[in-house]
Structure formats: structure tokens, C-alpha cells
């Protein structure tokens, strides 16, 4: 089955808020003294939307690992598959996208784990308000995982199927990572050369 490229619409986090907001706006149109055939169905739909919102809030408060946005709280209990660096003439090092949005996390990862460490690649990650699935990059060289950004679009397209297949079996790839720069803004590079070996093993 091909890897999903976006969240199902009903699983999109802001949707319950939008539905409740629209229904609350409609309360200015549907009056309490309105016809019962309009008022009661509207109240039922409004109540169901509020219940949907509450269920979403409760579900969101229950921490899973990774969570609904692909962030890791710990690597304990995860089955990690090491994709060690493979020496080759053509480098397979790619910069991490959106690193500029995660400078505090990258700085802490550098402080606790050094410039050379590992990163766990988490498929089906996303940003808040976005339905698009991306492959998240979690630096794990320090005391806890820290989100550094996402694989670039080209690398995402190349490795999404492999990484999503691993995720379906509860496994996540761990690759070498390098934090670049002596001060902000930091960059992060990941070496994906070892993924080809994993791809070959999966095909056998």
C-alpha cells in the first residue's frame, strides 16, 4: 500500500474547532423560537460537534510516542534500525528543511549531544495546521529527542515508502546527523547513504 501523503480530512486537528465555530455562527440564524424541524436537528449537530471536540482534546492529551505530529518523547521502547554511513563517491548527505524554525531545540541538542550525533527519521510527521505528511528528523544525541525539522522534499519523495514501511512494523531508521554552524542559525545535515542498504534488505 502506498505511503499516505496527507492526513485524512477527519483526522485534521483544527477541523473540530472549525465545525464548532461555524455552528456557533449559525446560532445567530437558528433562533430558539424557530421551527422545531430546524432547531432540534441543529442542536443535535451542535452537541455532536462539541463532543467531537472534547474527544479530540482528550485524545490529544494522551501522549503517544511518536505523537500525532511525529514528535518523540523518548527512544526507549522504540525499535530503531541503524542506517550507518556507507562510504561512496557521491555523498548522500542532505540538509534538513525548516531547521530555522527549530533553533532552540537544535541548540539544546548540540549542547547535550555535540555536533555529531544520530537522528531518528519519523514518517507521517506534520506541522500544526498542515495536513501534509512529511518525514520528521528527531535529533537523539542528547538527553532526549529534539525535533530539528523535516527531510527535504526530494529526499522525502525518495525515501517515504521505505520509512513508512518500517513504521508500519513499529520500526524507525536511525541515521548519522551533523549540526553545522558555530552559533545561530544552526543547520542540520543527515547522511542517508545507509538507507539504500535497508532498502536492499527490505526487497529480499
C-alpha 171/C-alpha 154 separation (Å) is 22
Tell me how far apart the alpha carbons of residues 188 and 96 are, in angstroms, rounded to a whole number: 5
Contact 138, 73 (CB under 8 A): no
How many angstroms separate the most distant Cα atoms in the chain? 77
pLDDT at 75: 95
Q: Which residues, listed in sequence order, are joined to residue 93 by a DSSP beta bridge?
A: 191
Distance CA 136, CA 123 (A): 6
Integer Cα distance of 160 and 93 in angstroms: 16
Tell me the H-state helices in the chain: 15-26, 36-61, 103-113, 153-168, 195-203
| Residues 29-34, mean pLDDT to the nearest whole number | 80
Domain boundaries, the chain: 9-61, 79-203
Q: How far apart are CA 140 and CA 172, in angstroms?
A: 12
What is the reported pLDDT for 53? 76
**Higher pLDDT, residue 15 or 65:** 65
The mean per-residue pLDDT over the stretch 161-170 comes to 95
Q: What average pLDDT does the chain have?
A: 89
- Give the pLDDT score at 193: 94
Beta strands 79-82 and 116-125 are: unpaired
Q: Out of 3.10.20, 3.30.70, 1.10.10, 3.40.720, which CATH number does the structure's domain 79-203 have?
A: 3.30.70
State yes or no: pLDDT of 82 exceeds 90: yes
- Phi, psi (rounded to 5 degrees) for 200: -65, -40
Between 200 and 21, the more confident residue is 21
Instruction: Supply the pLDDT for residue 67.
Output: 92
Amino acid at each position: 500500500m502506498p505511503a499516505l501523503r496527507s492526513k485524512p480530512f477527519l483526522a485534521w486537528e483544527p477541523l473540530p474547532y472549525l465545525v464548532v465555530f461555524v455552528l456557533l455562527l449559525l446560532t445567530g440564524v437558528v433562533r430558539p423560537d424557530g421551527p422545531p424541524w430546524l432547531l432540534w436537528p441543529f442542536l443535535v449537530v451542535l452537541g455532536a460537534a462539541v463532543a467531537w471536540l472534547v474527544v479530540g482534546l482528550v485524545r490529544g492529551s494522551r501522549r503517544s510516542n511518536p505523537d500525532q505530529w511525529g514528535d518523540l518523547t523518548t527512544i526507549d521502547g522504540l525499535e530503531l534500525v541503524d542506517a550507518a554511513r556507507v562510504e561512496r563517491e557521491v555523498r548522500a548527505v542532505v540538509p534538513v528543511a525548516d531547521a530555522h524554525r527549530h533553533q532552540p531545540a537544535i541548540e539544546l541538542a548540540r549542547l547535550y549531544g555535540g555536533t555529531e550525533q544520530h537522528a531518528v527519521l519519523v514518517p507521517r510527521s506534520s506541522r500544526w495546521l498542515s495536513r501534509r505528511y512529511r518525514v520528521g528528523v528527531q535529533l537523539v544525541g542528547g538527553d532526549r529527542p529534539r525535533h530539528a525539522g523535516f527531510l527535504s522534499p526530494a529526499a522525502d519523495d525518495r525515501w517515504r515508502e521505505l520509512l513508512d514501511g518500517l513504521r508500519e512494523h513499529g520500526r524507525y531508521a536511525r541515521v548519522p546527523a551533523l549540526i553545522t554552524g558555530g552559533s545561530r542559525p544552526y543547520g542540520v545535515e543527515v547522511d542517508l547513504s545507509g538507507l539504500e542498504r535497508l532498502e536492499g534488505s527490505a526487497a529480499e
